[in-house]
Structure 1
Amino acid sequence: MSTWPTSEAHHRWLDQHTRDLLAFGRRTADPEGGARWLGAGGLPDTERPTSTLISSRMAHVYGIGTLLGVPGSAPIALSALQGLTDRLRDPEHGGWFPSTEDKTVKSCYDQAFVLLAAATTAAAGLPWAAELFAEAEIVFLRRFWDDNAGRCVDTWNADFTKLEDYRGLNGNMHAVEAMLTAAGVTGDEKWLDRAIRVCWFVAKIAEAHDWRIPEHYDRSWQPLPEFNRQRPDDPFKPYGATVGHGLEWARLFLHAEAARPPGSDRWLAEAAAELFDRAVRDGWSVDGLPGFVYTTDWSGTPVVRDRMHWVAAEGISAAAALHHRFGKEQYATWYRTWWDYSATYLLDHEQGSWFHQLNAENEPTDTVWPGKPDLYHALQATLTARLPLYPMLAPAVAATLA
């Protein structure tokens, strides 16, 4: 059997799937600026407001499509950028609102995705991207990066006069992705330094918890292990350990290590392997059926057994990254296993894209993620095996696949 992560034939399939995903999402552009949440068939869900999250993710995705030379990608990316530079942006206080209907808070999660979108579209040479990046950099460093802690704060009110006490790793995780991308696009090593400081904290706190990552903290960065116990399936702040985040952090650690001189930060690779192994042991096919459970408690017992598409996508990307780093066949085996699972259960072969949520019996459901909101996780799963570990996706696509 060929080792799929390095197989040229498999890479051709990945390239076609990339293009199929981009075709599915082609109707995401909002005529007023931004990108719309997509329904099951790829049509915009007009009941939902245009959001910073979806607009940023789709700007990133179609910025990559632009770099790949896929016709029609640039206009979609530009529509998303228009929303980020206009109706989703706060012209008075700076930063980006959650949506066109919610202008009450500013979150690290949203601002990190704006930074990622700006860096990716700047790499693609799109109009407005450089100006958006310059503004996103100022907002991120002034309002969200806590240099004393070496981590990001989480949520402000709209005018940046009140900072919530809550601290969380979900926003920090996507901030690391954005910072690593910014480092690759701009050449500014300070972005890399900041990203590795966050990774160091995550590695240490995960090691202290048997490689399960506490997600929620108070303002002094003390873990809150019981946070959201009554809302265990929260899409952004679920209770317990989030299996997919163990996989996602493992990949990010390897990107960060690859950005450093060889051998200088080997702890990142060692921690990545531990995070990956824990996520697989706790999360994969632990209830008798294939698929990753969403969350576990602190002993590894599943809490939410639904299968989220993004967890499988991150598993695929993490396995590809670990195989690239260590060359061990076990990672190639997992890579093949999870693509086979995704093709069997998650890919919608009739309407396109991926089902975003399955129940514990691997049947489509929509209690957390109705429709097929965006292409971010699925599209990135088609790229990781075809690219070096560093630079990050947009500059790597520009150098390798464009």
Structure 2
Amino acid sequence: MTEAISADRQLSALRDLAERELVQGILPFWEAHAFAEDGTLRGGVSDDLDYLDDLPRHAVLAARILWTFSAAADAVPHGRDRLLATARRALDQLTGPMWDAQFGGVYWSVDAQGAVLDERKQIYAQAFTMYALARWARVAGDADALARALWLASTLDGAARDREFGGYAEARARDWTPTERTALSELDPDVPKSMNTNLHVLEALTELLRASVDPAVAEALETLLRTTLDCIVAEAPFAHCALYFDEDWDRRSDGVSYGHDIETSWLLWDAWEALSAHGLEDADLEWRTREAALALAEAVRTHGVAADGAVLYAGGPDGPTDRDRHWWPQAEGVVGWLNAFQLAGRSEDRRAAIRAWDFIEQHVVDREHGEWHARLDERNRPLSGGTGDLKMGPWKCPYHNARACLEVLRRIDA
């Protein structure tokens, strides 16, 4: 395990601010607004706190809430029982109306009454469910949740893992057979594989290995880590993750997602640490993982950050193409650069992490209605009107920002 950072004045202040934001801001917002009085998940919450109960309920959102409150219950000194109660509400949705009783796994979405709206088995959603169930199992000692998570890992291994070229497919039909309908969202193409899905399978396997110490999970994680380094992380024109692929990893895009790159940088190292703790000894894989993590962190710092410290949304080989500031890349920037500073001691990474948090404090946290603005324009004005601009919705959750706070607490000595 990488050693925690000794706190100086600035890092101690960062730690205090992250703890306050988690305990007084993020967690209370989701406790108050995520669920209706009957315990069912709400469809969405607008910027000004209107409830949008006509929207679908997505399994990814339920899983991210389950992971967040399970992880927080393990880290926050007070309120464990209350946090676990919120986590259980999400668990009940995930393993109740969202779980396919016939074929297993989670549906993509259900309506307010629990009727299935989209039955596809998007691997991204299965990965987040595995991730959340594993963390809940660790915290609550829930053997059934762990068994479900291991079942999902085994099912993905059989139905979605590519034994010839490596990695995992984007989607399967309800019965786990191949499907042509693979796009993760309306902004994504129908492709056989993506960086985003494979990144979150990697993340889920990392969490599951820590919960289960299962040799099959360790093998799958090690293989996917190698595939990610071989096929997804690119070196030219600078270190970045290619986004979309054919089955044999031929690239379908030259786009750059700065938020995903900085997130990948630390999740790669987290996967290695889980494997190392499990007993894997491989100096070459350790070196390759470390170098990729550092290269990605440096590249985002160099090519994907605005003058005010904000992580920009998207770019290409010639520079940024979308200068909006979405909430989640800011959170991932804090963690990614702290991780890089732990690995190499580069002052530039330490400074970037602190600047990213300063930007969050100044512009992203919503001081009027709570939680974080989903998206800002280039002049840091909050944007609204789209599904992605909600305080809570299919893609707006407590996972990135709460996890960033938890990682700050874990990585910086008190």
Give the TM-score range, shorter chain.
0.7 to 0.9
Which residue in the other structure is 2:204 paired with? Answer: 178
From 273, 277, 292, give the equivalent of 2:294. Answer: 273
- 1:95/1:6 CA distance change after superposition, 3 Å: farther
- 1:43/1:62 CA distance change after superposition, 3 Å: farther
**Separation in 1, partners of 2:282, 2:16:** 30
**Separation in 1, partners of 2:336, 2:106:** 30
Which residue in the other structure is 1:73 paired with? Answer: 83
- 1:143/1:44 CA distance change after superposition, 3 Å: farther
**Separation in 1, partners of 2:391, 2:63:** 16
User: Does the Cα contact within 8 Å between 1:51 and 1:100 map onto a contact in 2?
Assistant: yes
**Separation in 1, partners of 2:89, 2:157:** 26
Q: What does the per-residue CA deviation read over 1:217-257, in whole Å, with 9 as the maximum and x for residues that have no partner?
A: 1222211126xxxxxxxxxxxxx111111101100122123
User: Does the Cα contact within 8 Å between 1:18 and 1:379 map onto a contact in 2?
Assistant: yes
1:85 aligns with 2:95: yes
Which residue in the other structure is 1:237 paired with? Answer: none
Q: CA deviation at 1:216?
A: 0.5
Q: CA deviation at 1:215?
A: 0.8
Which residue in the other structure is 1:310 paired with? Answer: 328
User: Does the Cα contact within 8 Å between 2:234 and 2:242 map onto a contact in 1?
Assistant: no
Using structure 1 for the length normalisation, give the TM-score: 0.85
Q: CA deviation at 1:187?
A: 1.6
- 1:4/1:292 CA distance change after superposition, 3 Å: farther
User: Does the Cα contact within 8 Å between 1:34 and 1:84 map onto a contact in 2?
Assistant: no
- Map 1:1-400; keep pairs closer than 5 Å: 7-20=11-24, 21-26=26-31, 27-30=33-36, 31=38, 33-34=40-41, 36-41=43-48, 44-67=51-74, 68=76, 69-70=78-79, 71-101=81-111, 102-125=117-140, 127=142, 128-164=144-180, 166-205=192-231, 206-209=233-236, 210-225=238-253, 240-259=255-274, 260=276, 261=281, 263=283, 265-285=286-306, 290-297=309-316, 299-366=317-384, 367=386, 369-373=388-392, 374-387=397-410
**Separation in 1, partners of 2:41, 2:158:** 25
**Separation in 2, partners of 1:171, 1:145:** 12
**Separation in 1, partners of 2:54, 2:304:** 34
**Separation in 2, partners of 1:200, 1:278:** 21
**Separation in 2, partners of 1:43, 1:73:** 24
Q: Which amino acid aligns with 1:207?
A: A
**Separation in 2, partners of 1:5, 1:189:** 43
User: Does the Cα contact within 8 Å between 1:37 and 1:54 map onto a contact in 2?
Assistant: no
- SS state at 1:303 partner: strand
User: Does the Cα contact within 8 Å between 1:28 and 1:76 map onto a contact in 2?
Assistant: no
- 1:316/1:90 CA distance change after superposition, 3 Å: same
Q: Which amino acid aligns with 1:111?
A: Q
Bigger mean CA offset, 6-15 vs 363-372:
6-15
User: Does the Cα contact within 8 Å between 1:5 and 1:335 map onto a contact in 2?
Assistant: no
**Separation in 1, partners of 2:205, 2:91:** 19
User: Does the Cα contact within 8 Å between 1:104 and 1:157 map onto a contact in 2?
Assistant: yes
Bigger mean CA offset, 380-389 vs 54-63:
380-389
Q: What does the per-residue CA deviation read over 1:151-205, in whole Å, with 9 as the maximum and x for residues that have no partner?
A: 1111112222333362111011111111111111112244344234333333334
Q: Which amino acid aligns with 2:198?
A: N
Computed over aligned residues only, the root mean square deviation of the Cα atoms, in angstroms, reads: 2.6
Q: Which amino acid aligns with 1:312?
A: Q
- 1:294/1:9 CA distance change after superposition, 3 Å: closer
Q: CA deviation at 1:126?
A: 5.9
**Separation in 2, partners of 1:145, 1:81:** 26
**Separation in 2, partners of 1:325, 1:44:** 43
**Separation in 1, partners of 2:172, 2:44:** 25
- 1:176/1:37 CA distance change after superposition, 3 Å: farther
Q: CA deviation at 1:282?
A: 1.9
User: Does the Cα contact within 8 Å between 1:59 and 1:117 map onto a contact in 2?
Assistant: yes
Bigger mean CA offset, 109-118 vs 320-329:
320-329
- 1:154/1:43 CA distance change after superposition, 3 Å: same
Q: CA deviation at 1:28?
A: 0.9
Q: What does the per-residue CA deviation read over 1:245-300, in whole Å, with 9 as the maximum and x for residues that have no partner?
A: 11011001221233325855111111111111112222101xx6552221112x23
- 1:4/1:283 CA distance change after superposition, 3 Å: farther
Q: What does the per-residue CA deviation read over 1:137-158, in whole Å, with 9 as the maximum and x for residues that have no partner?
A: 3333232233443311111122
Bigger mean CA offset, 174-183 vs 213-222:
213-222
**Separation in 1, partners of 2:357, 2:309:** 12
User: Does the Cα contact within 8 Å between 2:311 and 2:333 map onto a contact in 1?
Assistant: no
Q: CA deviation at 1:111?
A: 0.5
Q: Which amino acid aligns with 1:39?
A: S
Q: Which amino acid aligns with 1:160?
A: W
**Separation in 2, partners of 1:114, 1:100:** 15
Q: CA deviation at 1:110?
A: 0.4
Bigger mean CA offset, 311-320 vs 133-142:
133-142
Size of the alignment, in residue pairs? Answer: 374
**Unpaired segments of 5 or more residues in structure 1?**
227-239, 390-399
User: Does the Cα contact within 8 Å between 1:290 and 1:341 map onto a contact in 2?
Assistant: yes
Residue identity (%): 20
Q: Which amino acid aligns with 1:151?
A: G
Which residue in the other structure is 1:235 paired with? Answer: none
Q: CA deviation at 1:333?
A: 0.8
Q: Which amino acid aligns with 2:20?
A: Q
